[in-house]
Every structure is written in C-alpha cells, then in structure tokens.
Amino acid sequence: MPALLRHTAERAKGFMPPDEGQALYELGCLYGSRGPMAEIGSYCGKSAVYLGAAAREAGTVLFTVDHHRGSEEIQPGWAHHDPTLVDPRFGRMDSLPFFRTTIATADLEDVVVAVVGASATVAGHWHTPLGLLFVDGGHSEDPVTRDYEGWAPHVVPGGVLIFHDIYPDPAEGGQAPYRIYRRALEEGFKEVRVTGSLRALEKV
C-alpha cells in the first residue's frame, strides 16, 4: 500500500488497527477485479482509505454507505463517543465532514463514492453486484442483521464478504456480529482469511 495513503489512514479517526487495515487493502486488491466494492459503516473514513487505495489498484470503485449520525456505541454516554463529532447546530453526531476531509486528503475522491443514508434504505434500492462487501456498521443485533440480509445477496459468487469486530469470546466484545458471521458460514460463505477481529468469507 502506498506509504502516503497508509499514513493518512492511520491518522484518521476510527477503530481499525493497521494490520486489519492492511488486510482490507490486500483483500480489496484481490477481489476488486470481480466487481465494485461496498462498505457499510464509514465513520470518518479510515477503512475507506484502505479500500479506496485497493479500488484504485484494482480499477474499480468503492461505495461507502453511512448515515453519518453515528451508531449506537458512539453516541453520548457510550465508551467510544467523540464529542468533537457533535454538530452543535443540531446536537447530533455528524461524521460526514470528517469523512470527506479524510478522503480528500488521501486524494481518493475519484474512486470513493459516499452514499449518505441508512443502510437498510439504500439496500432496498440497490441492484449492483459486488465483488467485495465490508460490513462494519452498527454492532447490535438489529443493525448487523439488516446489513447482512440487505447486502450479502449482492455479493457475486467468488466475491468476498468481510466482517469487522468478530469476537468468539464474549469477554472480548459484543456477540451480534459473531452470530451473523456464523450464520454466513452456514449460508454459502467459506472463510478465507482471519486478521485480528477481521473475518473474510468468500461466496461459494
């Protein structure tokens, strides 16, 4: 991965360790030739830099889907809340300006397309087959289930579905993404890579 893009990704606000980001980049380079890529849950653009760099390398594009009002775990009162992301005009989270700054700084605006809206709403009108799908939106039961059910059918055979924050041990993290990951393994996906909490599953 180009050093400047790696530096930009690592400096962006977000929760992805560098080794998992590098794995995203490598998976994007591998599967991006099989169709456009989509990311569900963009926050401030950290993971979009890794995937956007891969999209450029693979000659494709990355669609990033996020309402940018923040998932449950980054709202006020939660451990991951960042008060600098609150728009004082409305008293609500707004990560979109930070996302746009990150992507512009990385010079990836030609290959990263921001889709601003609720994942389930966008999925209901989506018809483009995907070579890669990265699910990293809300981590409680309902959001992760909707993300999987709404988007996984669009992954082409031979494409890849990637989950973040998969923790088999409940002591390490929430279990909703893990349960959906297990469901995907039962519904036509096979695991091809594990890096930290990142799981990559190829569609059979």
Domains along the chain? 3-203 (3.40.50.150)
> Which residue in 67, 68, 139, 164 is the catalytic one?
139
Q: Is 154 a catalytic residue?
A: no
Give the separation between CA 103 and CA 48, rounded to whole angstroms: 8
Collect all residues with Cβ–Cβ distance below 8 Å to 32 and sequence separation of at least 6.
Answer: 54, 55, 57, 58, 59, 60, 131, 132
pLDDT for 134: 98
Q: For residues 32 and 56, is the Cβ–Cβ distance under 8 A?
A: no
Give pTM, 2 decimals: 0.93
Give the separation between CA 26 and CA 4, rounded to whole angstroms: 16
User: Look-up: residue for tokens 């990311």?
Assistant: 39
Tens digits of residue pLDDT in 43-78: 999 999 999 999 999 999 999 999 999 777 777 776
pLDDT band at residue 154 using 50, 70 and 90 as cut-offs: very high
| Identity of the residue numbered 112 | V
The total number of residues shown for the chain amounts to 204
CA-only gyration radius of the chain, Å: 16
Q: For residues 61 and 35, is the Cβ–Cβ distance under 8 A?
A: no
